[in-house]
Amino acid sequence: MAIKKTQKKPQNGLLIQTLDIKQVNRSSVDIEKWRNALKAAEGQNENRKAIYELYADMLLDGHLKSVVNKRIMSVTNSDIQFTKEGKEVDGMYNVLISKEFKKILRYIIAAKIYGHSLVEFTAADNNAGFTVNLVDRRHVKPRLGLVVKNPTDNKGEAYKNDPYYNFTLEVGEPDDFGLLLQASQYVIYKRGGFGDWADFIQLFGIPFRHGKYENEESRQVLVDALENMGSAGFAATPKNIDIQILRAEGASGANLVFTNFRKACNDEISVTILGQTMTTSDSGNAGYAQGKVHQAVEEQMHLDDKLDVLSILNTDVVRILTNLGLPAQGGEFSYCDIDNTSLTDRIDIDTKVAKLVPVEPDYFYETYGIPKPKGNDTVGGQQKNDKGEAYKKNNNKTENKNLSSDSLKAKPLLKQIQNLLGFFVKAPQIVGHFRSW
């Protein structure tokens, strides 16, 4: 279906088509370059080329990339609906399931990682009715409100004015450089530590060979033999010469210095991006209670992210989709109900509830995916009658005469589920519940 355009499109073409994109510079990085890149980005000219090229290089670090993806996926993996007056809007269904909408979510939450971001919407003949593109951050000058052809330019397209404003989404503050600014320094330190570790392994990890010769004729023979023995270091000296290699004190355990340094850098990266460490790395001697605290910190951070994303969706994104002719005006985005209760906690809750109020047995079959018994099968060791209901043998006494018949029928099934759960080892639980908003 053709999309009706209710706003005038930019006469000079799309913003992303005005850029002169160059290859990312991947030269070696140190702390001095990190500081200089920040100074350039904060300068009057707002040259962000160096800092975003540094970010691209930092994200080659596996640990940093992993924790960044974890934070982004907490939003992109959430189910979202669009409603008007409490009813879902059919015309928005294709938008919600499209890859373009998922890109919107990714770009919004990624602004917390990268800093200020500018996204351009364009009407398109696809299921969503539009496409979204991230404007290269190197070419955006937020304080000036410009998109420039080259990062060093001072003149460009004023994206905050019409007609660009109708189809652009601005996320983040002008002076925001994202969490990668803090995390990058630890990646740089870790790379230096790995280099020193490699030197240590080369020097002390492979046995050093020392050969002695008597005359010049035997010297060359000795050197050739040592070279052919492999890549380990060696020295050939006269018999009356000794070589002493001084090893670091406790060199056999010196690897712990580099291991601990690497772990410290990774922990700082995790704290910067996720607010804690125990959900991404081995916690050593930390206990289960501490793990629950760390998990709760991360859950609160994800909750804050989702609230921020929802706020942007219901303001700027609704405005832009309306400008593109989609039925978004007057509606709102919301998250579907999410229940993070573990199976063990759920059965514990259901068991207690079944003692207080009548519960239909079908609830337990549906909730836990347990097939209903057929014929003369038994439920929790009890025989069924012709109606498929479990009853107790004559010699069994009723545990509580005040319980309703529905609760009595549910109890054997609850016992069966509890016995099944007892087979499994209890794993760390997710703390906190992210329910309907």
Provide the whole-model pTM. 0.68
How confident is the model at residue 47, as a pLDDT?
94
State the 10-residue block means of pLDDT for the chain, 437 residues long: 48 66 82 95 93 95 94 91 91 92 96 96 90 94 93 91 90 94 95 85 72 80 78 72 62 74 92 80 60 75 91 95 93 78 75 85 80 64 47 44 49 59 46 38
Q: Where are the domains of the chain?
A: 15-181+305-323, 343-421
Quick one: DSSP state of residue 315? Answer: I
Query: Does residue 223 contact residue 237 with C-beta atoms inside 8 Å?
Result: no
130: nearest Cα among 324, 293, 397: 324
- Measured CA to CA, the distance from residue 387 to residue 150 in angstroms comes to 78
How confident is the model at residue 420, as a pLDDT?
55
354: nearest Cα among 286, 412, 267: 412
Query: Does residue 135 contact residue 15 with C-beta atoms inside 8 Å?
Result: yes
